[in-house]
């Protein structure tokens, strides 16, 4: 993976344009925790998201590996369009949910086999997402190679599956599903259509989202270190929170300016 040529930590001003905002959650809007259920988003950040969504006429979506139900709980009371499980489930702005799923026999067989194996590796965790599985090893990094081999073997056995590495996690999901596809689907629908996409993420799972946004001449932002296709970079989750506050001020300033010219 090659870093984008013009990647830098100074994001361009978003004043004066119509933008569509897409945010990953873990490692972007929330700090990564050892247990997925321990993650939270500060009330002030949730309020900024709500205000930006309102001012952008709803053109703000969450694009995450988490199921939509978990995303709703993390950003409540905001209920935004969302792509959960990397796009395997997607709720559009009208509230309609589109779902991709694994065949029932594959899902049940996989869950049983994966759980039996991970039970033998202390500190690992199997997260069942309905249409995907996440194999976590943050608390047991010594099992990284074993987890990867287990996931690769599953993909070899079941061609309907795709493997998605992440930060101390490997996911098994339906083929053809990724965050880039989810962003492209949103951008074909109201209220996103015709706007300039902005995508902020931190992980390998976000790279296809960055590529999709780059192809649409949008703004792609990588959070943290590491090579990336993103064109811009923010150092940390704290930096994302600070930028959200600045972004809100920009959007509010634009609206006041437009109203004063009427």
**Cα distance between residue 12 and residue 247, in whole Å:** 11
Query: Distance between terminal CA atoms of the chain?
Result: 48
**Cα distance between residue 48 and residue 78, in whole Å:** 10
- Do 18 and 246 form a contact (C-beta atoms < 8 A)? no
Any bridge partners for residue 63, and if so which? 83
Active-site position among 24, 92, 203, 206: 24
- Do 89 and 68 form a contact (C-beta atoms < 8 A)? yes
Q: Is 24 a catalytic residue?
A: yes
Say how many C-beta atoms besides its own lie within 10 A of residue 162's C-beta: 17
156 burial level (CB within 10 Å; 0-12, 13-18, 19+): exposed
**Cα distance between residue 52 and residue 80, in whole Å:** 11
HSE on the CB side for 105, CA within 13 Å?
1
**Active-site residue set:** 24
């Amino acid at each position: 993976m090659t870093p984008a040529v013009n990647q830098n930590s100074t994001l361009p001003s978003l004043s004066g344009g119509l933008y569509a905002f897409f945010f990953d959650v873990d490692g972007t809007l929330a700090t990564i925790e050892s247990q997925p259920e321990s993650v939270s988003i500060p009330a002030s950040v949730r309020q900024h998201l709500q205000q930006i969504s309102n001012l952008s006429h709803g053109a703000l979506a969450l694009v995450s590996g988490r199921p939509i139900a978990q995303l709703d709980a993390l950003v409540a009371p905001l209920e935004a369009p969302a792509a959960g499980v990397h796009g395997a489930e997607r709720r559009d702005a009208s509230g309609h949910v589109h779902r991709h799923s694994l065949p029932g026999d594959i899902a049940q067989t996989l869950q049983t086999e994966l759980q039996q194996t991970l039970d033998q590796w202390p500190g690992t965790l199997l997260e069942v997402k309905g249409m995907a599985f996440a194999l976590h090893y943050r608390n047991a990094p010594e099992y990284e190679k074993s987890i990867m081999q287990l996931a690769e073997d599953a993909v070899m056995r079941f061609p309907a599956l795709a493997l998605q590495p992440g930060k101390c996690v490997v996911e098994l999901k339906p083929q053809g599903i990724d965050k880039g596809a989810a962003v492209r689907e949103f951008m074909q629908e109201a209220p996103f259509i015709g706007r300039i996409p902005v995508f902020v993420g931190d992980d390998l799972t976000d790279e296809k989202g960055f590529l999709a946004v780059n192809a649409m001449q949008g703004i792609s932002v990588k959070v943290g270190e590491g090579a990336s296709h993103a064109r811009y970079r923010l150092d940390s989750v704290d930096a994302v929170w600070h930028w959200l506050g600045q972004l809100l001020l920009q959007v509010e300033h634009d609206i006041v300016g437009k109203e004063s010219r009427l």
